[in-house]
């Protein structure tokens, strides 16, 4: 299927690893030029160079923290070099672990800036250019935890829920300008973060980290496994395409059956 994305320009935050990198590679495979943003400059430079080699598209690395005003401004400046962007993937984010009664304001604020304000600032920066280009797509990588919270990460749950609501409000505001906005709520995805956590928790226990994660999948996902990041990326790439032209203001779950309610 031709997804009609060739020569579009996409911004992917958190683009050096995991779901973000898989999305960037999926878009590049369709002929999309990409601007990747992440904090780890060395890793980002390496994956950006590999994308150029593998797909022959333009690819630029922006080493920045989008949880800051300066970081979002750096992304916007890079996009200007492409003449604007057609696609924005707000993917940057990370899990948390705390209790509500013990977490200080600073921790709440840090996650709010990363999961919500980064998306707000990038929308303000890039949507006007999308309008002049005739439209565009903005996608937010949220989480199943926005609806079905995990008890050990209340700040993550709350800020991802806020991101989903922001996505809906932004969709209503921008659809008249031909900009489609949607959110995606993944479930269990085999990312380096999950692997790192599993290795720490199983160190010295005699249990392998792979077995630990398999137990999580068995207990929660009827499909019985974690998703590969590329499986999540496939949905994002489709939603970027004109083939998804009637997809507006929605939240799409891709969770292997984990969600326990009808949505």
The H or E element spanning position 10 is strand 9-13
The full DSSP string for 127-144 is: HHHHHHTT-EEEEEE--G
C-alpha angle 143/159/97, rounded to 5°?
80
Handedness of CA 210, 216, 219, 220 (dihedral sign): negative
Put the strands of the sheet holding 179-186 in their side by side order. 59-63, 33-38, 9-13, 87-90, 136-141, 179-186, 251-254
**Continuous H helices in 10-102:** 18-29, 41-55, 69-80
How far apart CA 228 and CA 213 sit, in angstroms, is: 13
What the block records as the tokens of 77 is 């400046």
- DSSP character for 248? -
- In the set 111, 152, 156, 246, the catalytic residue is 156
The set of residues, in sequence order, having a beta carbon less than 8 Å from that of 249 and lying 6+ positions away, is 167, 168, 171, 172, 175, 181, 182
Assess whether 212 carries a catalytic annotation: no
Q: Cα-atom radius of gyration of the chain, to the nearest Å?
A: 18
Give the position of tokens 């999580």.
Answer: 216
Annotated active-site positions, please?
156
């Amino acid at each position: 299927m031709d997804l009609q994305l060739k020569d579009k320009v996409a911004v992917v935050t958190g683009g050096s690893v995991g779901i973000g990198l898989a999305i960037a590679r999926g878009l590049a495979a369709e002929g999309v030029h990409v601007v990747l943003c992440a904090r780890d400059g060395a890793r980002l430079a390496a994956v950006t160079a590999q994308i150029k080699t593998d797909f022959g598209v333009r690819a630029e690395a922006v080493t920045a923290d989008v949880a800051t005003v300066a970081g979002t401004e750096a992304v916007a400046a890079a996009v200007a070099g492409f003449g604007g962007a057609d696609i924005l993937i707000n993917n940057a984010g990370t899990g948390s672990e705390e209790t509500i009664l013990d977490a200080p304001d600073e921790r709440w604020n840090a996650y709010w800036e990363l999961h919500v304000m980064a998306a707000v600032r990038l929308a303000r920066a890039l949507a006007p250019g999308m309008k002049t280009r005739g439209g565009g797509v903005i996608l937010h990588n949220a989480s199943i935890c926005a609806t079905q919270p995990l008890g050990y990460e209340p700040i993550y749950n709350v800020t991802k829920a806020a991101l989903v609501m922001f996505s809906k409000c932004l969709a209503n505001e921008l659809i008249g300008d031909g900009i489609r906005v949607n959110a995606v709520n993944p479930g269990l995805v085999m990312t380096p973060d999950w692997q790192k956590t599993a290795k720490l928790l199983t160190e010295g226990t005699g249990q392998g980290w792979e077995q630990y994660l398999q137990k999580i999948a068995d207990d929660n996902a009827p499909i019985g496994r974690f998703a590969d990041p590329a499986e999540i990326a496939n949905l994002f790439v489709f939603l970027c395409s004109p083939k998804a032209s009637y997809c507006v203001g929605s939240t799409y779950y891709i969770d292997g059956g984990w969600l326990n309610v009808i949505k």
